[in-house]
Structure 1
Amino acid sequence: MAVGRVLVVGLDPVRIPGWDPEPVVAAIARGQARFGEHGIDADLCLVVPDEDAEAVIVEALTRQDYACVVVGGGIRKHEPLLEFFEKVVNLVRQHAPGAAIAFNSSPEDTADAALRWLR
């Protein structure tokens, strides 16, 4: 089932200060494993908004040809990151114009978000 490669862009829970990253790290791992269950190749691009995140995202977007880019809820839902979220969406449009853009509701349903656009 070659449906195309997926890039998941999200916040790096290990590098965000002030909270326990382990539950999010575990949820991301479970979410990534679900791609394998569907036979989908998925790459992860985890960033910290204040640390040259845009360059990291552009490098990831141009490394492969992606059928879909999923933008994680940590970027999308946290109101102080609204401008960063807009930048991420526009980077996808600019550097992966053929890719669908999807949004997950949790790290564990990331494959479901991609599958809405890959089928």
Structure 2
Amino acid sequence: MKTDTIFYRLFQSFPSIFFELINHSPTEAQAYQFASVEVKQLAFRIDGVFLPTTTTAQQPIYFVEVQFQRDSEFYSRFFTEIFMYLNKTKLSNDWRGVVIYPSRNVDKGA
């Protein structure tokens, strides 16, 4: 989807914007590396993952999805992607799933 590419480039170039969106200090971005990851098996693709740059499990992993269309199956797919990724990587960090919507009325879960 075109918006995925835009947000990928935005987060890749300016990772601090993501942390501002979730009301965290923009300086937190310095402790993370951003990437788009593909979870093989069923070829799920997570729009973005902010991984802590240190190997300690003190900072959470952030999974980011940009969702501009209504999708009744979005949350089941999003959590499947996250759990498949965590299973594959065996990371023990806490994690957060963040969904960016253009407005609240697009979120079918709201």
Could you say whether these structures have the same fold, taking a TM-score greater than 0.5 normalized by the shorter chain as the test?
A: no
Q: Please state which structure has a larger fraction of its residues in strand.
A: 2
Q: Please report the TM-score for the alignment, with normalisation by the length of structure 1.
A: 0.40
Decide which structure has greater helix share. 1
